[in-house]
Amino acid sequence: FALEDLLEFAKPLRMRNYSISSSPLLDPQRVTITVGQVSGPARSGHGTYRGVCSTHLLDLEPGDRMIAAVSSIDSGFRVPENPTVPIIMVGAGTGLAPFRGFVQHRQAQHDMGIDVGPALLLAGCRRSDHDRIYGDEWDAWQAEGMVEVDWGFSRQPGQPRQYVQDRIRARADRIGELLEQGAAVYVCGDGSQMAPAVRTAIGEIFAGGDGTPEAALMALTEANRYHEDVWAGA
């Protein structure tokens, strides 16, 4: 068999979906995505496995062309239409991607003279000097009062491990205050461990001393105030 004949029997690769990490209000002609390269020891024990799409993107040069599609989402995972609604964003690693676009959007609205509500980001990464994605941008936005950022570092030398759910509990008073103001909650990242832990932590805060975390979270979800964009962890 020739190679092209064998490929006839191969299934097409599934489409890879990435969150857009920029706002069209900043530049309607430019879209950015945030991708972490998948790379690690091959399961066979021989050589290194590299993700097909992430490696392809990494190997592209400026000016190269590729096929892509922009899809509209129906899940509600987008910045609120009312710019005064407070937002609570929770993400780790490349899960911070859509929130960069959220804050860019509100920054652009603010620059147009539109009133915008408070924003709180609970962000997670391994170390402050290693993978604090878009760190300089978050610092600048925080200095301008566009967002409050609270980092949890899981591998910071000399410090105990902190994950986003730990930072949520540490900021319970502030989160409770924003929830009382009608804040919408957005969670992006690992769906196997991070997202369930965040659900529990947010549910505990919203429930307070009345009811269960599960019932409180359901109430937020039914009110269209709790949104997730999660994927299976490695």
Which residues are known catalytic residues?
A: 19, 188, 229, 231
Q: How many residues does the chain have?
A: 234
Helix/strand/coil percent split, the chain, to 5? 35, 15, 50
Kindly give, in sequence order, each residue whose CB lies less than 8 Å from that of residue 200, ignoring residues fewer than 6 positions away.
Answer: 165, 213
Q: Which residues pair with 122 in a beta bridge?
A: 90, 150
CA dist., res. 129 & res. 191, Å (int)? 25
Strand pairing report for 148-153 and 119-125: parallel
* CB contact at 8 A, 122 and 99: no
Beta-carbon count within 10 A of 5 CB: 8
Which tokens belong to 175? Answer: 């989160």
